[in-house]
Amino acid sequence: MKVKEIMNPITDHLSPEDTLQSAVVKMRTTVREDRPGVKGLVVLNERGELVGVLTIKDVLRAAIPVYLDTRLSKLSWDGMLEEMARKVACRRVKEFMSKRLVTVPEDAPLMACADLLIQEKMQRLPVLNKDNRVVGIVYIKDIFNVVSQIFLDQEKCKL
């Protein structure tokens, strides 16, 4: 099976110039598997090329000051997260999106996708066509579904 057979087609995307505020609105309203709400969106420039991915982790990271480490975060005051979140609401997607693009071509074998997801600790991979345009996203859950279906299709394991 190729990745394009199981990927989810792109329904929405962000622009690098979007604010985090408008980005979270899109994340909350984009529909996936018939339910609104996604944990990540691809970021495309005005020419439609993939320039990054913004996930809920990136949004959280935006609210955590870079100077904070585990020693200092224990000393933080009540309300610090909320205060920091207010400060970054109007900053741009391009500042916080992850720019390290890990993608797969649409005819990539599933093994290559599974390996990339695990090795790179990713939750999702944008799928590119021959013109390097994003045509879909494959989620770790999609590959898990394939593997688990194979398990279930087998005879019950005897121990």
Partner 1 sequence: MSPEIATPTQFDTTFWIATTIFIVAYGIIISEKIHKTIVAVCGASLMLILHILDQHEAFHLEEFGVDWNVIFLLIGMMTIINLMKPTGLFEYIAIKSAKLAKGEPLRIMMIFAVVTGVLSALLDNVTTVLLIAPVTLFICDALDVDPIPYLIMEAIASNVGGTATLIGDPPNIMIASKAKLTFMDFIYHLAPVVIVLMVVLIGVIKVVFTPKLKSSPKLRQRVLAMDERAAITDPVMLKKSLFVLAVVLLGFAFHGALHYEPATVALFGAGLLLLLSKTKEPHHILAEIEWPTLFFFIGLFIIIGGVVKVGLISWMSIKMLAITQGNLLGTSMLLLWFSAIASAVIDNIPYVATMNPLIIDMAGQLWPEETGIALLQHPDLMPLWWSLALGACLGGNGTLIGASANVIVVGLAERQGKKISFFRFFAYGTPIMLLTVLISTVYIWLRYYVF
Smaller CB distance to partner 1: residue 64 or 101?
A: 64
Cβ proximity of 136 and 52 under 8 Å: no
Instruction: Find the shortest distance in angstroms from Cβ 97 to partner 1.
Output: 15
Count residues binding partner 1 (CB under 8 A). 17
* Cβ neighbours for 4, distance < 8 A, ≥ 6 positions apart: 106, 107, 127, 135, 136
Q: Tell me the C-alpha distance between 25 and 37, whole Å.
A: 9
- Segment 118 to 137, residues that bind partner 1, using CB under 8 A: none
CB 66, min distance to partner 1, A: 5
Q: Does residue 114 contact residue 141 with C-beta atoms inside 8 Å?
A: no
- From residue 63, alpha-carbon distances to 4, 23, 32, 54, 97 in Å are 35, 14, 26, 14, 13
Q: Tokens 């622009």 correspond to what residue?
A: 15
Residue among 45 and 73 whose Cβ is closer to partner 1: 73
According to the binding rule CB under 8 A, does residue 109 interact with partner 1? no
Site string for partner 1, 45-84 (x = CB under 8 A): --------------------xxxxxxxx-xxxx--x--xx
Footprint of partner 1 (CB under 8 A): 65-72, 74-77, 80, 83-84, 91, 95
